[in-house]
Chains A and B, each alone.
Chain A
């Protein structure tokens, strides 16, 4: 394992909507709002599990997923996904995104675990935005999974009768 050690002064948490929160290191247990610093406490007890105490209010927190520098956090029952970046990785990310440009394929994933009841998508066919590609049954409801874009169907992974997990890729579409 090769690892380059650098001195870091700051970390950034980037939300999925690309909002950026920066935190100087070492990480303080206070957050500044206007001119005042408010204490943030990460606590846990038998009754509530893990929670954050902020301005005299308890907020339940949970870590839903953590992979590399990506974190999905449930804060007061709402999910937030952040990637935590160092000034160096942030810069590299910016460079990469300008080189790479637009995404080539649109992946339609299963929004929930369930069973594939019907597949309308055919490889090589054109689809319109909103056109149903798959019927997924979950919790007794039939859900029409629609194409989010206009494009061409590159691959159909979903097969009638099979069970899928949440986030399994069902169909790959090349957007027009």
Chain B
């Protein structure tokens, strides 16, 4: 049976991204309209919109297995694409889909379960002789046990959520005294985020690079890799910029890591798209970290350098098709960089800055691809992630990609919220980034300033402040010097006022 209608169990840019490919493949898509975002952009890409605005439950519908299954059945969807986050790595959901004769566009429930549980994944990798950081045998029950295990491994160690991902439920512990407090926070955070408080402990690899391999496998047992992505530009384990390929790998290391990534995927009979994550230390030793059994946020950089549409492959594999290419057919051409433009205040430690996007202007250029789920008037709500858009830039080589990226960053105009744009403008000019000389500790250790401003920008801003002051307070060169009667007014009202000039 071929998929004819897909329910998109997600929102934002990834919902748009999936529907674009579905449309090209002449497959219908169904999107879910929620009370939180009734005017969201992704809804306009769907062939059918399921109105779920009457549900005002605090838990998003995209996390509710029963509701998603019911919506799929009601809308006659024969498949569900979970995107990333939400139910994307929920084995029980994949199982429920199968029970209801709905195709889950992703791997088998068994693969999701095994790789989703980090302690089981560690055991599988260990059995296959995959290099790994030393760690606890299984999950850790309490803070006393944690302290004992950490003492044996040696500090620093990292506490990780067994069912985790995306940096949540994760803490680095450098001293025995910090263990109790950090163990409790990590476990609490894991319980809240993944409904599972279990955590385990690993030796913390200092200043590694984050290198991950894109895997593609079909249901016939063919598994290949599509090269690596370098995702070392992170803050609090949240990726900010990714590129493919990595400046740290040569052909030999790529071949070796890629082969082991495929081996791990084979160990769980993996099919669909997946990602095997490694840490690479300064001596070029690498360690298996985890496998993500979903499409990743940063998948576009791989698509750019391989020319393969990963969502299309996911759908074809879900249809039972055999991969049309083998490992030798995969050629990495050029270089791609992705900047995650988030509604965050770089000057306030990347604090989320949710709000309404007053206006948005994105570059259209052959070397630029923008994946976004927002448009003018869209609201970045605090209940979801803070992503506004992914700016994906291509170049012939790394140098050229950085140059194109610098140009593209100046063409992105977003008004209404603060964004990570000033951070990327700084990054593409930073000598260490340009050299490829950076690790996951780059933001915390190597940076003194998190944003870029060219000369005179502050002076121009000062000029504007002075101009506004004059408009508000000065008539005919005379001024009320007493500010006690000062007033507050909406910034947008003020903006309207300057607009009248």
Contacts and interface: CB of A to CB of B under 8 A. Distances in A.
Interface of A: 1-8, 11, 13, 15, 19, 21, 23, 25-27, 31, 33, 40, 42-44, 47-50, 52, 54, 59-69, 71, 73-80, 82, 84, 86, 88-89, 111-114, 117, 132, 135, 137-142, 144, 166
B252 interface: no
B447 interface: no
B-side interface size class: 35 or more
A82 B469 CA distance: 10
B345 interface: yes
Interface string B453-481: 10011111111111111101110011111
A5 B480 contact: yes
A173 B231 CA distance: 39
B444 interface: no
Contacts of B352: 112-113, 138-139
Nearest to A138: B352
B181 interface: yes
B499 A44 contact: yes
A78 B423 CA distance: 10
A25 B477 contact: yes
A15 B193 CA distance: 41
B185 A69 contact: no
B422 A60 contact: no
B425 to A, nearest CB: 8
B34 interface: no
A114 B351 CA distance: 11
Contacts, number: 191
Interface in B415-438: 415-416, 418-419, 421-422
B359 A48 contact: yes
Contact of B489 (A40, A66, A80, A139): A66
Contact of A84 (B189, B422, B469, B501): B469
25 contacts: A4-B482, A7-B478, A8-B477, A21-B463, A31-B460, A40-B463, A42-B498, A42-B501, A61-B461, A63-B498, A66-B494, A67-B486, A67-B488, A68-B486, A74-B418, A76-B453, A76-B457, A77-B421, A84-B469, A112-B351, A112-B352, A113-B354, A139-B386, A140-B168, A142-B188
Interface in B397-419: 413-416, 418-419
Given A49-B415, A139-B352, A13 B465 contact: yes
B451 interface: yes
Contact of B466 (A23, A74, A88, A117): A23
Given A3-B480, A76-B457, A113-B354, 14 more contacts: A6-B481, A26-B477, A31-B456, A31-B459, A50-B499, A61-B461, A63-B494, A66-B491, A68-B487, A75-B458, A80-B465, A111-B348, A113-B382, A132-B181
Nearest to B484: A68
B479 A6 contact: yes
A80 B159 CA distance: 38
B481 A86 contact: yes
B326 interface: no
A79 B345 contact: yes
Interface in B150-201: 167-168, 181, 185, 188-189, 192-193
Contacts of A117: 188
A44 B358 contact: no
A73 B415 CA distance: 12
A71 B464 CA distance: 9
B347 interface: yes
Task: In the A-B complex, list the 10 residue pairs whose CB atoms are closest, starting with the nearest.
Answer: A68-B486, A3-B480, A13-B462, A21-B462, A84-B469, A75-B461, A112-B351, A82-B465, A71-B465, A80-B461
A79 B450 CA distance: 12
Given A8-B478, A79-B345, A79-B418, A73 B464 contact: yes
B483 interface: yes
Nearest to B497: A63
A144 B498 contact: no
Contact of A79 (B347, B415, B456, B487): B347
A139 B433 CA distance: 28
Contacts of A47: 359, 361
Contacts of B167: 141
A114 to B, nearest CB: 8
B485 interface: yes
A6 B351 contact: no
Contact of B385 (A21, A25, A139, A144): A139
Contacts of A84: 465-466, 469
Interface centre among B385, B413, B421, B461, by most chain A C-beta atoms within 10 angstroms, is: B461
A61 B469 CA distance: 16
A4 B465 contact: no
Contacts of B351: 111-112, 138, 166
Nearest to A4: B481
B483 A89 contact: yes
B480 A15 contact: no
